[in-house]
Amino acid sequence: MTKDRRPFPLTGVVLVAGAAGYAFFRLHHALTPFLLAAAFAYVLNPIVSYFEARGLRRVQLVVGGYFLAAALGVMAYAGLKSLILSETELLQTRAPAYLGQLQKMAFAQQAQLTKRLPLPPQIAEHALQSAIGGALHVVHDLPSHILALVPFLAHALLVPFIGFFFLLDAPDGVEGGIQLCPSRFVEQAIHLLSEIDTALGNYVRGLIIVVAVIFMVSFLGLIALGVDNALIIAAISGISSVVPYFGLAMGIVVGGAMAVYQFGTLWAAAKVAALFIGIRLVEETLIQPIIAKHSLHMHAMTNLFALIVGGATFGFLGLVFAVPAAGIIKALVSVTWSWYTSERGLDLGSAEGSGVPYT
Amino acid sequence: MNPLKAVKRWFIDPQFARKKQFLRSLDIFKDLRDRELGYLVQSLHSRTYRPGEVVFMAGDIGRALFVLETGSVELVLPASGDGSRAKFQLKPGDFFGEMALLESLPRTATASATEKTHLHLLYKSKLDALLAAEPRIGVSIMSHLARLLSSRLRRVNADLKPVFAKND
């Protein structure tokens, strides 16, 4: 190793990353559409790259893709219009009655349960009142939780618009960044980019599969159970699956509440809960093994910790991006460790059989 | 002009086609098919170096293969026992740093641009990804590297023959 080699400026990188993280924390509301647009472009980029590898121009591909997506969207809306409208109307007309019915049901069940519990009647009544009251409070607040997502829907036009430019110029941006990087650190920079891209890309693609499967299976399952508003409940559960474990919870709460209202028994809600737990188990046993080889390979507790920290710091956006952000941090740590061990000569093992003479 | 050709020209990216043409002209990639060259172009990163700019230094951990498209690069080996430094001048179409694709080991020479130089980098993990997704590309490159390594070993063996003979 020569003496004039400069070590990797780890302190500088950590300081810059820290400053960037703080700036992001301060500006995250303003940066939200850009972050969502970057994620949007990142998800769609493999499709553009697939055709680009065949020698087609990126500009034509992106513009053509937008026109095609718009046409498909209009056609899909035309095809599903009656179903969407009927589900929306059904929800609008019945929504006020849902809560009243649920309350009535809950208090009827409460009287029966008070008798069955092996506790003094007053204590049993008090315990059930607080439990059922808490559950009803959650159901009551559900619309406001769903309404909290409305600001994100406001980005529905802005995100594809910004995403268009990300899709067009992302490769040039990366090459520009490499050009700006000091030549001595180009290999390290590409190493880092490559690790992040591999981990994140596979996670995002896996997530899309999970969301699509949960949406489709829960839609079919709810129809089989005869639950009203199957499309909306399946859509809520599918989209909520972007946040780990949230899709299952939303499916059980919203679907279960609908089933209780519609059929008037807790048994119907139990069937809906069984459906969503079953979907979750199928996802864990059949889908996850297929996409696991492409996932971030993070422990469930790490995921949970990332979700809690992300949610507490950045709200709903933090929940959505917590796991991929943890994946990026993991890639950063892994690359730093790899540099450290390489620089220190800790991983210079020779291949088996290298002692045999060349013949 | 043939309207079909005009439409094709409007859709085909000339820069991408030029890069593919350049890669096809190289010995290491000559066995690849057109679509495979397309995947390879997407896996490459490019960078322009100013005259005198260091690409990497002896002792740096290598993780990428460099392909020289335009300009020139000088490889300088560390000083030997008598203080002399062996130098090699690389011209467009040459590639260097290829052993980094096999092992992340310290570079054995310092590489620097002697004029304005455009290099393509094939990063090891990109090649690994290509090996998984398009095994033919990886096998073709790896088999070329194996042949290169074997011919270098033969040369070293031949160079060392007189030394071994003297010791016997």
Place of tokens 């210079």: A348
User: What would the pLDDT profile of B32-54 be if each residue is shown by its tens digit?
Assistant: 888 889 989 988 889 999 999 99
Q: Is the pLDDT of residue B59 over 70?
A: yes
Are the beta carbons of A60 and B10 separated by less than 8 Å? yes
Confirm if B50 and B64 have CB atoms less than 8 A apart.
Answer: no
Full-prediction pTM beyond 0.90? no
Q: What's residue A53's pLDDT?
A: 87
What is the pLDDT at residue B112?
Answer: 93
- pLDDT tens digits for chain A (359 residues)? 444 555 656 677 778 878 888 888 788 778 888 888 888 898 888 889 889 888 889 999 999 999 999 999 888 888 877 777 777 777 667 766 766 766 676 666 666 666 666 666 677 667 666 666 666 666 666 666 656 666 666 677 888 899 999 999 988 888 888 888 888 778 878 888 887 887 777 777 778 888 888 899 999 999 999 888 888 889 888 888 877 778 888 888 888 888 888 887 888 889 999 999 998 888 777 776 666 555 667 777 887 888 888 888 887 778 878 888 888 888 888 887 877 777 676 665 566 666 666 66
Query: What is the structure's pLDDT at B114?
Result: 94
Q: Is the pLDDT of residue B92 over 90?
A: yes
Whose tokens are 């590309």? That residue is: B137
Q: Does B118 have pLDDT greater than 90? A: yes
Across the interface, do A198 and B64 touch by the CB < 8 Å criterion? no
Order of strands across the sheet with B95-96? Answer: B44-49, B117-123, B64-70, B95-96
Question: Which pLDDT score, from 0 to 100, does residue A165 have?
Answer: 93
Rounded to whole angstroms, the Cα distance separating A214 from A276 reads: 9
Residue B116 has pLDDT above 90, yes or no: yes
So what's the pLDDT on residue A291? 62
For residues A177, A178, A184, A187, the Cα torsion angle rounded to the nearest 10 degrees is 130
Nearest Cα residue in chain A from B42: A53
Residues A247 and A264: their CA atoms lie apart, in Å, by: 24
Taken as a whole, chain B contains a residue count of: 168
Contact across the interface for A183 and B55, Cβ inside 8 Å:
yes
Return the amino acid letter for A52: E
| Distance (Å) from the alpha carbon of B20 to chain A's nearest alpha carbon | 9
Residues of A with CB under 8 A from a CB of B: 1-2, 4-5, 49, 52-58, 60, 174-175, 178-179, 183-184, 186-188, 190-191, 194-195, 198, 338-339, 342-343, 345, 347-348, 358
- The tally of CA atoms less than 13 A away on the side-chain side of residue A231 is 12
Query: Looking at residue A10, what is its pLDDT?
Result: 67
Nearest residue of A to residue B155 by CA position? A358
Q: CB B16 to CB A55 under 8 A?
A: yes
